[in-house]
Every structure is written in C-alpha cells, then in structure tokens.
Amino acid sequence: MSSLSSDDVANLARLARIQMSEEELVSFSNEFTVILNAVARVQEVAGADVEPTSHPLPLRNVFRPDVVVPSFTPKEALSGAPAQEESRFRVPQILGEEA
Amino acid sequence: MIRLSASEMAAKLANGETTSVELTQAHLDRIADVDTDVHAFLFVDTEGALAQAAAVDAKRAAGAKLAPLAGVPLALKDVMTQKGVPTTAGSKILEGWRPPYDSTVVTHLKNNDIVILGKTNMDEFAMGSSTENSAYGPTHNPWDLTRIPGGSSGGSSAALAAFEAPLAIGTDTGGSIRQPAAVTGTVGVKPTYGGVSRFGLIAFSSSLDQAGPCARSVLDAALLHEAIAGHDPKDSTSINAPVPQVVAAANSGDVKGMKIGVVKELNGDGYQSGVRTRFEESLELLAAAGAEIVEVSAPNFEYALAAYYLIAPSECSSNLARFDAMRYGLRVGDVDGASAESVMNLTREVGFGREVKRRIILGTYALSSGYYDAYYGSAQKVRTLITQDFNKAFEKCDVMVSPTCPTTAFKIGEKSNDPIAMYLNDIATIPVNMAGIGGMSLPSGLAPEDGLPVGFQIMAPAMADQRMYLVGAALEAALLTKWGAPLLSQAPVLAGK
C-alpha cells in the first residue's frame, strides 16, 4: 500500500517549485494514495528480464549540418518577456545578497 | 456551404463557384452565431483568416497551381504555436503570449494555403479527456450542450461537429485526437509517432505527443494528413521517410483480403452496450466488404493505463519546468527583494490548474530517487511489453480494431472530481501511443440507449498509416449507404443567436 503524507507532497511541491496551500497539500495527499495504488500495478509484470522502452523510435544521436541560419532578433526574443532591461531579460534576484 | 466536406469545398473553390473569402466569412459568421454556446474557440483570428483567404483568392485568380486544400478554413488547437497569434495551451500561465515563431504544422498549413480561423480550446497542456481542465472554461458537445466534447482536443472536435470549421488540427498523447472524435461523431487520426513534426507543439509528454488531422470524413483527414506530415530537421524525432500514401488509400477503400484483428481485451466488461452494438455492426460491414475478421490478444494492454499515468506525468514534470516566469508567460510576486525561487513558486501556483499540478507532483515523485525503478522504470518495461503485444498481433492481421472509448460523451462535471474515473476514458486509446503506432477513430453510429455518437478505432503498424485509411474509407462508405446521409446530419440544430 503506497501512500503520500501531506509533508511528502509539500516536499515534492517544493522540488517542483509550486506553492501550495495546506488544504491543497491534504487533498493531493489523499488523491495520490488512490492514484499510486492504481498505477503500482505496473510492478506486477515488470520483470527483470524485460528491457525498458523510453521512446518509440530507436534513434541515437540525430545530427544536422552545423550551418548558420537566421535567428530571432533581440526584440523578437524578448517579445514575451515579463520584464526586460537594456535588451535583456530582467529576472528577480537569483543569488543571496553578498555580505 | 459550411456543411460540405473540405474536399467538396475545395472543388467549389477550384471551379470558381465560391471564393476563399466567401467561405472563410461563412465560417466566421457561423462561429459568431454558435460559439457562445459551444465555446470551441479561445481566439478567432478574423483579420488574419480573411487576409490569408484574400491572398489565396488572388493566387488562384493569377492562375497559380494550388495545393488540394488551398482556401479551405481550419481550426487550430491552441497547443500549436502560430506567430503573432495568442497561444495559451489552455493555461493561465501563457495568457496573452504571442509566439515569435510558427510551429512546423502551421508552416505546412500556410504553405498549403489552408486558412487558419483561430485557436481551439483544450484541456490545460493537453492533460485531460473532457476539455473541462481548460483554464478558460469547458467546451460543449454540439450533440448535447450539457455533455463534454472529449479531450484534450475538444475544441477542435466540437468546431467540426458544430460546422464552425471543416478541418482541424489536434494532438494526441493518450487519445486526445481519437476520443474527442469518437464522442462528437467526427474523424480523428493520430499518425505514427514521428510522422508529423512536433516543432512548435507545446510539449506535454515528448515520447507520446503527436499532432494529427481532424475532419468530418476519412478523405478530408487524409488530405490534411498529407499536408502536415513529413520529415522536419527541426524535430530530431521526426521520421526521415516518405509520407504514407494516405489520400490514395482513402480514395480506394478496398479491404478485400485484409485481415482485421479484433482486440479481445478491448471489449466486453466496462464497455457501454450501445458502444458494443455499433462495434459489432461495423465488423459485419467490414466483413461484407471483403475483409477477414480475426481475433487477436494483447494481454499486457490492461497495464497500459497504469504505465501511461506514470510515464506521461514523469515527462510532463520535466517539460513544464520551462514555465519558470523568467523569459515569457506569467510572472507573479516580482516585488522588490523577492527571490527568483519565490517568484517561480507563486507564478506556478497561480498559473497552473489542479490537474496540471497533480501530474507534475506525481511525475516528480515517480522520478525521484528511491522510487524511480519501482514506478517510472517499471512503466517503461510495460511499454516494451505493449509493443511486443502489438508486434505479435500484427503477425496475424493487417490492422487492429476496437471501440475508441468505453462510453459515449458523459455530462460536464460528472467525472471532474474523480481522476481515476476520468483516466479510464483512455483505456482503449493509450496502447497506440505507448507503441508509437498509428490510430484512427471514425463514427460508427449512435448508441441506441442515449442517441450519442460512438467511435470505431483502427490501429496500424508504424508508418503503415495508409492501412487505417483503407479500412476507415471502407467502413465509412458502408455506413453512409446504411444511413443515407453523414451521421452529423442527425445532430440537433444549434439554436445560435
């Protein structure tokens, strides 16, 4: 019987960078217990002798010629930016303040 | 005029009976009339569509050689980027975004002079089977406005059934083209994985996602299929091989001597009685057309749903990491001194809907250290077993068939609080995506008990898409003879304004 506590869900939400209310954590934890027990069925047939498939096509290292082609202008690249400054994306502070 | 098939419209354009501007305007008028009730569209590009139509008319007037569907209008699922046109994937996190580039599918549509009317509603990031997960409200099934039009390509299927467009583009990750087609009495095709480029298709589950044609007839779907398919250097997973000859197959419809394999596991318990009635009748019609009906078994299909709900969330948890509030889309909480991490957390809380969050968290769990082998790893092994089931079955038959969905369209709201019940809609469509092969759904009639459309699913080996069109065209012709008119002529007339 697999289950996820609301603390487990909180940790996963932190890893996935999604803020969640206490109420959401509890309801997700209840749902995940049901869903995980349904999907755990895959373990019944997944023997050690079965090769995993990650992709339907047997492709490896698809290359193309390294040719310079036209690309976005800075204006086009920034056209959807939530904030910009001097032809650059402006983002919130990423590193902590230096002492 | 709007009730004609796309190929009939194309013929009228070619012989000068109508113009693309006239045809496009007729569809824009229809949208203005009925879409308040249906809500198939998230954005109607009146100006862009009429400009494109005028340009095709000018080319035709100048005597240019045009593509088969030139001048015919189309509805585009909002998951495909179109330069300068709002593209949301049904999510608040992309509200107002206008992509700076065209998806390859859109490039093909434009090169074929197919007129793009606008963007259709969908479950957020294509996660759902009812279009109820759209952040912009549900789409209503034209057969009964209180019911779902299927999903995730529900806007595209509803637009076809409401005669708002004769052609549409959908995408199919676990059945998102075929199930909406089934419940709206339209035709939908998921081509072989890699048959149509994914460049500019906002990714949900990259190893499963596939764009494809939606239409009101098998021939129309084939014409659109050939217009959008083909190798694309911008998509490293697109297949570098000639496009299957699907138009020729749709025109032929010759199934004499073909072996049609009925999947033993995709019928019986859990399938509505009217769904089974219509399925059995279709088999009889195909046999009468000269096909040989055989039974095939796929014992691992019963694990497909469980494997899908591990693989798709795992891939989505990674794909949706790109919505980080930094380069495009929504940004919330960017106040003085706020960290990038807190802005991401707040933006994704507000920007994503419940089903999307549910799948991101589930995928994060399935891929996390200590659980990876038990969940994601096991699901990948099931994927191998399903592919082996298909390979073995295709030794005994040319195509495999089943009902597309276990039931007809359910009521809006009926399953929205029960994720597992909702996921069961896709039980017959998911195996196709897991193996990367082709699948088609076409209407097989109405269920006697509720008078709602039922879909017939045809599955063909990878890059043998033409076989689905052969069988689809044969069944469509036999049913048309029986009904005397297309199934959609039985749909209720929408009141409009």
pLDDT tens-place string over residues B338-348 = 999 999 999 99
CB spacing of B237 vs A57 below 8 angstroms: yes
Beta bridge partner(s), residue B188: B214, B441
CATH topology of domain B6-301+383-490: Amidase signature (AS) enzymes (3.90.1300)
Q: State yes or no: is B378 an active-site residue.
A: no
How wide is the angle at C-alpha B106 spanned by C-alphas B3 and B131, nearest 5°?
65
Whether residue A24 is contained in a domain is answered as yes
What is the average pLDDT across B358-363? Answer: 97
Interface of B with A in 354-413 (CB under 8 A): 357-358, 360-362, 364-365, 368, 374-375, 377-385, 387
Whether residue A95 is contained in a domain is answered as no
How confident is residue B57, by pLDDT bands cut at 50, 70 and 90? very high
How confident is residue B423, by pLDDT bands cut at 50, 70 and 90? confident
Name residue A13's amino acid: A
Residue B425 has pLDDT above 60, yes or no: yes
Nearest to B128 by CA among B176, B198, B89: B176
pLDDT tens-place string over residues B190-214 = 999 999 999 999 999 999 999 999 9
* d(C-alpha B81, C-alpha B211), whole Å: 12
A98 Cβ partners below 8 Å, 6+ apart? none
CB spacing of B324 vs A80 below 8 angstroms: no
Specify whether the CB–CB gap between B199 and B236 falls below 8 A: no
CA distance B346 to chain A (A): 6
CB spacing of B207 vs A9 below 8 angstroms: no
pLDDT tens-place string over residues A81-96 = 999 999 999 999 888 7
The percent of residues above 90 in pLDDT, for chain B, comes to 96
**Which residue of the set B7, B12, B20, B77 is catalytic?**
B77
Q: Which of B144-158, B264-278, B431-445 has the lowest mean pLDDT?
A: B264-278
Q: State yes or no: is B238 an active-site residue.
A: no
How confident is residue A97, by pLDDT bands cut at 50, 70 and 90? low
Whether residue A59 is contained in a domain is answered as no
Report how far Cα B380 is from the mean position of its chain's Cα atoms: 24
pLDDT tens-place string over residues B99-128 = 999 999 999 999 999 999 999 999 999 999
CB spacing of B326 vs A89 below 8 angstroms: yes
Residues spanned by the domain of A38: 6-44
What residues of B are in contact with residue A28 (Cβ under 8 Å)? 357-358, 361
How confident is residue B265, by pLDDT bands cut at 50, 70 and 90? very high
Q: In this complex, which of B303, B331, B374 lies closest to A82 when CB atoms are compared? A: B331
Whether residue A99 is contained in a domain is answered as no
How confident is residue A64, by pLDDT bands cut at 50, 70 and 90? confident
**Which residue of the set B129, B176, B217, B282 is catalytic?**
B176
Nearest to B160 by CA among B177, B136, B137, B138: B177
Nearest to A56 by CA among B63, B208, B246: B208
Residue A98 has pLDDT above 60, yes or no: no
Interface of A with B in 20-79 (CB under 8 A): 20, 24, 28, 31-32, 34-36, 38-47, 50-57, 59, 62, 64, 72, 76-77, 79
For B163, which DSSP code? Answer: T
Whether residue A11 is contained in a domain is answered as yes
Nearest to B43 by CA among B35, B55, B52: B35
Residue A1 has pLDDT above 70, yes or no: no
Domain ranges of chain B: 6-301+383-490
Q: What is the ipTM of this complex?
A: 0.94
Tokens of residue B241, six digits: 């091989």
Give me the number of domains chain A comprises: 1
pLDDT tens-place string over residues B236-251 = 999 999 999 999 999 9
